[in-house]
Chain A
């Protein structure tokens, strides 16, 4: 590889490299405890809500750096509604879940309507939402906590996939799933490459793809191996993976995704190209409400309760993950894989510092500095490339 390729590589994978370095740092500082099977498992379950919210937040940010401040309160509100129906009214789990989703969607649509069709600045609308739904959560809950959740509900989120092979000390299903996912990834990469060559398009050097596949396969398998040493695949990982895959596909491969990027890139040009910009804004914010409800489901399951302070500050975790993951503060650029890396980095920092026993307030300071550094880096590197 020549010098230009190397610098392009570093630019493209900066955050991945930072993630690796930070992980290694905490592994060293915690004497290896960071990568114990249980901690790897915790990384997923503790941060599931961040992954889900950040995915939705990216869509809002893409439209032009617009953020949704209300997600923390919607998580709390949807959780409160769900818990009320499930626990206090003894409704079935399925119906309650549907009600939660509809609640989130309705709130998203409400906010989306004002943002998209009345053009009230998103910051204001969602700031109002943040207050309104925090207040309503308290009113519904009367200031109390509802607990515990029914077992049928908890099983959906807190359980682990049963090992059909009954491995001893290691969950074979989990390990096998890791190997299969890695194999599928390699296969898809090379199939895409082959079809490009067949159609006569230019492709990068083969070594790039091989290295990329090797690294990602190793990471996936190592990760699943760690989980296999614990209790196997957590249910919540399936939820997160499904959502990430859906939205990864939506943003990169569909016209709706393209419209989101186009509006963030140049709204007037998008409008004059026949894109219904109002509709796109509406979709982004309605969807954010929907995903906030999904996050609420994960949160009340993990806490095994719905309480009036749940979800406090979640919006900042989601927004931070997006920006650390390379989304532009002006909209128009950013990817789901990037956001996942950003969310993971935040999670690793949280987890690492918790294991080290760093004071919670200092954790906030560090996270703030990381966020600022990431955005400064992004802005500076863009300046240089001009």
Chain B
């Protein structure tokens, strides 16, 4: 047993009306990787906010004992001085600044009125080398990918002399290979004696890096498991998280009759929105049939979102060429409106940025894509609108006090349900779901899968773009594998496996 670096004792935090944390205990030993798992809204982030001083001493009950002393943090700087550094899920980097400037933002080197740039960049380069990022610290953040940005965040934490590093869903926007590299980096830091807490939804990551796992549910600690002494299985963790046994993570689909081709593209090529000489989708031909769930798998940046959005009324890309057939007839779609009129829906991967109006109630969001459905000659029938929103709230089992609740106050899973409801109300025949379960908890995922099954049972077609291989494998009837803008494989669900898909991606990358 190592030395206990951090102990959080009986932490209770109450918000008006809600008890977010109820007697939570957490013990972290020096030099271990401790995973914190739990559904969305279970209280993980609140706990970490208590630890880092976002919620100041006195606004919660209980004690934080770090390195042998009771801590009373009044601001984030206090906890950072002790070496407790959080890397938040949403990256907090300024795109127009260089890596080095970002790393020392708020912690500028040199004198107050004379920043020492050579020191800044010199040290930044050292830290970048430590995290294995081969970029100059003078590169602008906007010029590097998300995976590398995540590494910059870590380098930034190191520059603050972190002793206890907290990573809040560090891989949520990374693809498989970048995720793997990040986890390996964590293991490398562990060897050097760093202590880390990782918050994540992905159980395979937990199994890969964590020494101990603490499960939190509804603001209370359920149990802490030790890899050395306990037998840890994914099922056991899931059971702890949701409080029930999830016998099957993917609901069974009853025999759905698969019909004719609902949507087909031939020789579809799309150029990058800004760098118009670059092809992001390259000569793609694909189709989806009625009653079919079509999975599109691939790494981030493979061109899947670009493919979907370019089909959806040219909402992305330049110089789009190729043919689009709906129910066997060739059509040309010039705008999102036309796409919706041709009964196509695209459910974005970025529900907060591109999908929902967070400051508006569920009612308004639900009808936004089909206002004609609740209005006569441009006049909205509010009663009808409420009825529609209410109907979908029940159908999707969205948890909210009423449909007048602002979407911004809902949890990720419930937001995703509102977003889906919006597009289901537009009555599409072909639904393109882009990462439909990103960042939502296990229970809500299951419900989304059930909705997908209902849709195909009603004869609709679903195209599901997903970076989570188990999900693609568990839900699809047929799978396309995309890489570097091309389709590099078409697989029947029966013959597909994680290995086969990754194999297709890797072998096609080598061919370049």
Chain A residues with CB under 8 Å of chain B are 195-196, 199, 201-202, 253-256, 258, 261-262, 265-266, 268-276, 332-333
Contact = CB atoms under 8 A, between A and B. Distances in A.
B360 interface: yes
Interface of B: 312-313, 315, 335-337, 339-340, 346, 348, 353-360, 364, 368-369, 371-372, 375, 378-380, 382-383, 386-387, 402, 422
Given A196-B383, A268-B353, A255 B371 contact: yes
A268 B315 CA distance: 10
A201 B360 contact: no
Contacts of B336: 271-274
A274 B369 contact: yes
B379 A253 contact: yes
Contact of A272 (B346, B380, B383): B346
A275 B375 CA distance: 15
B348 A272 contact: yes
Contact of A261 (B315, B340, B354, B360): B360
Given A201-B387, A255-B378, 7 more contacts: A199-B387, A262-B360, A266-B354, A269-B354, A272-B336, A274-B339, A332-B357
Contact of A270 (B312, B368, B378, B383): B368
Contacts of A276: 335, 337
A273 B369 contact: yes
A276 to B, nearest CB: 7
Contacts of B371: 255, 258
Which 8 pairs of residues, A with B, have the shortest CB-CB distance? A265-B357, A273-B369, A274-B337, A274-B336, A266-B357, A268-B354, A273-B368, A255-B371
A195 B422 contact: no
Contacts of B335: 274, 276
A332 B360 contact: yes
B354 A258 contact: no
29 contacts: A199-B383, A201-B386, A202-B402, A253-B380, A253-B382, A254-B378, A254-B379, A261-B360, A262-B360, A262-B364, A265-B357, A265-B359, A266-B353, A266-B356, A268-B353, A268-B354, A269-B353, A269-B357, A271-B336, A272-B315, A272-B346, A272-B355, A273-B336, A274-B313, A274-B336, A274-B339, A276-B335, A332-B360, A333-B359
B340 A274 contact: yes
Interface of A is mostly: helix
B391 to A, nearest CB: 13
A332 B407 CA distance: 14
A195 B355 CA distance: 33
A172 B485 CA distance: 77
Contact of B378 (A256, A262, A269): A256
Contact of A269 (B312, B355, B379): B355
B354 A272 contact: yes
A272 B346 CA distance: 8
Nearest to B355: A269
A275 B372 CA distance: 12
Contacts of B375: 254-255
A8 B11 CA distance: 31
B359 A332 contact: yes
Nearest to A199: B383
A4 B339 CA distance: 45
B380 A255 contact: yes
A272 B313 CA distance: 9
B422 A273 contact: yes
Contacts of B315: 271-272
B357 A262 contact: yes
A266 B415 CA distance: 15
A272 B379 CA distance: 22
A273 to B, nearest CB: 4
A268 to B, nearest CB: 5
B341 to A, nearest CB: 8
Contact of B360 (A202, A256, A265, A272): A265
Q: Which of A202, A258, A332, A333 counts the most chain B CB atoms within 10 A? A: A258
Nearest to A328: B359
Contacts of A265: 357-360
A195 B369 contact: no
Contacts of B358: 265-266
Contacts of A255: 371-372, 375, 378-380
Contacts of A199: 383, 387
A256 to B, nearest CB: 6
Nearest to A263: B357
A274 B315 CA distance: 10
A255 B312 CA distance: 22
A248 B470 CA distance: 51
Nearest to B313: A274
A329 B33 CA distance: 45
Contacts of B313: 274
A12 to B, nearest CB: 13
A253 B380 CA distance: 5
Contacts of A272: 312, 315, 336, 346, 348, 354-355
Contacts of A202: 402
Q: Which of A255, A272, A333 has the most CB of B within 10 A?
A: A272
B497 to A, nearest CB: 34
A301 B375 CA distance: 40
B407 to A, nearest CB: 10
B402 to A, nearest CB: 7
Contacts of A274: 313, 335-337, 339-340, 369
Nearest to B347: A272
B351 to A, nearest CB: 9
A254 B368 contact: no
A274 B372 CA distance: 12
Contacts of B340: 274
A199 B388 CA distance: 13
A273 B355 CA distance: 8
A223 B426 CA distance: 47
B350 to A, nearest CB: 8
A195 B383 contact: yes
A268 B353 CA distance: 7
Given A255-B375, A258-B371, A269 B356 contact: yes
A279 to B, nearest CB: 11
Nearest to B386: A201
Nearest to B383: A199
Contacts of A271: 315, 336
Taking each of B313, B315, B354, B402, which has the highest tally of chain A beta carbons within 10 Å of its own beta carbon?
B354
A122 to B, nearest CB: 20
Nearest to A195: B383
A265 B407 CA distance: 11
A272 to B, nearest CB: 6
Nearest to B346: A272
A195 B381 CA distance: 13
A19 to B, nearest CB: 25
Nearest to B348: A272
A272 B358 CA distance: 15
A280 to B, nearest CB: 13
A252 B317 CA distance: 35
B386 A258 contact: no
Contacts of A332: 357, 359-360
Contacts of B387: 199, 201
A195 to B, nearest CB: 7
A333 B358 CA distance: 12
Contacts of A273: 336, 368-369, 422
